[in-house]
């Protein structure tokens, strides 16, 4: 792709999954100001430093680069409306949002995942942005899930938990190797199935992932990070949660373990047309490198894509 095409470059950079923050400060007359940003990162623990990037064309650029203090408010997954509010040009943002004053007199939003009050340490000119490095003076955090953002859309990191809290679920995975999907069976005469086991979700989806890790260890297949792919309720009211992932180490195919491409995949062995739809969606999204998450039932649901196209 051409480096001279800023849209393509922005799309590529947008593939990086980030959190969402609202950066706040006060004008010299005390008026609170704030904007939504995902260009935030920690810099150092000793001394405690972090940075945010502010576009030079932003209306608030000079206010923030000249402020005596600023705050980074890390949003939780239930604060999408706050993210949208501070991304807008609304003049009454702080009349709508619930907030309080911090120890440095900076506005701190209520109910966030975390917050950091900072004094300015250094500003660095970097192309069309200014990097604002702050020294952390005070902070706090809460036991919540973050609001995720990727490819121009929010990412709900709690889908698996919300769909099957404290319920026993069928947990499976679509595991890829060079564009082929793993299928297993108990013996040479049996039907092929996607790798699956039984898991239970309580506080988060770690339990479901751990049950899959144990299954792959038993199969002798090394699998890398797994990402949520489909959540649906079957006809018998069983929750089904499927992840996607890729093989990361050597593996041996056999009469009971084999990888199939989209042309020779044994769709007829799958237990329900919804599984065929899921696998075909995987092959399609893999070709397009644009994955989403399906939520629904065996017969109807929606795919939340990680892009805005």
**Chain centre to alpha carbon of residue 66:** 33
Quickly name the fold that domain 6-150 has. Pnp Oxidase; Chain A (2.30.110)
pLDDT at 30: 94
Instruction: Write the CATH number of the domain with boundaries 158-305.
Output: 3.90.79.10
Indicate the pLDDT class of residue 201, thresholds 50, 70 and 90: very low
Name the average pLDDT for the chain.
Answer: 83
List of residues 6+ apart from 225 with CB closer than 8 A = 245
Indicate the pLDDT class of residue 291, thresholds 50, 70 and 90: confident
pLDDT at 172 over 60: yes
pLDDT at 260: 95
pLDDT at 118 over 70: yes
**Mean pLDDT, to the nearest integer, of 109-128?**
95
Alpha-carbon torsion angle 58, 62, 67, 73, nearest 10: 10
**Mean pLDDT, to the nearest integer, of 61-68?**
94
Distance between CA 203 and CA 42 in Å, rounded?
A: 27
pLDDT at 31: 94
pLDDT at 115: 97
Distance between CA 27 and CA 272 in Å, rounded?
A: 60
pLDDT at 220: 87
Write down the domain spans for the chain.
Answer: 6-150, 158-305
E strands, the chain, in order: 18-19, 21-26, 32-37, 40-45, 48-55, 70-74, 99-101, 107-109, 114-126, 129-141, 148-150, 153-155, 168-177, 180-184, 196-200, 227-233, 239-246, 257-260, 292-297, 301-305
pLDDT at 193 over 60: yes
Indicate the pLDDT class of residue 71, thresholds 50, 70 and 90: very high
């Amino acid at each position: 792709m051409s480096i001279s095409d800023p849209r393509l470059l922005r799309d590529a950079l947008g593939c990086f999954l980030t959190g969402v923050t609202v950066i706040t400060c006060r004008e010299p007359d005390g008026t609170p100001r704030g904007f939504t940003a995902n260009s935030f990162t920690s810099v150092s623990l000793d001394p405690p430093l972090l940075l945010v990037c502010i576009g030079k064309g932003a209306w608030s650029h000079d206010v923030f680069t000249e402020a005596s203090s600023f705050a980074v408010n890390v949003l939780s997954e239930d604060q999408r409306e706050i993210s949208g509010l501070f991304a807008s040009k609304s003049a009454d943002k702080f009349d709508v949002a619930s907030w309080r004053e911090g120890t440095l007199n900076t506005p701190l939003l209520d109910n966030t995942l975390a917050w950091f009050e900072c004094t300015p340490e250094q500003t660095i000119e970097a192309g069309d942005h200014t990097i604002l490095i702050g020294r952390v003076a005070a902070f706090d955090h809460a036991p919540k899930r973050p609001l995720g953002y990727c490819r121009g859309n929010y990412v709900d990191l709690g889908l698996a938990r919300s769909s099957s809290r404290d319920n026993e679920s069928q947990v499976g995975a679509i595991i890829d190797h060079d564009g082929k999907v793993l299928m297993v069976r108990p013996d040479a005469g049996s039907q092929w199935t996607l790798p699956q086991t039984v898991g239970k979700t309580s506080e988060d989806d770690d339990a479901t992932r751990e049950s899959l890790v144990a299954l792959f260890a038993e199969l002798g297949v090394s699998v890398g990070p797994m990402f949520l792919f489909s959540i649906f309720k079957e006809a018998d009211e069983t929750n089904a949660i499927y992840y996607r992932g890729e093989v990361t180490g050597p593996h041996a195919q056999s009469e009971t373990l084999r990888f199939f491409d989209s042309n020779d995949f044994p769709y007829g062995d799958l237990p329900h047309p919804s599984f065929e739809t899921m696998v075909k969606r995987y092959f399609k999204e893999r070709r397009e490198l644009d994955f989403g998450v399906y939520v629904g039932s065996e017969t109807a649901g929606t795919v939340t894509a990680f892009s805005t196209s």
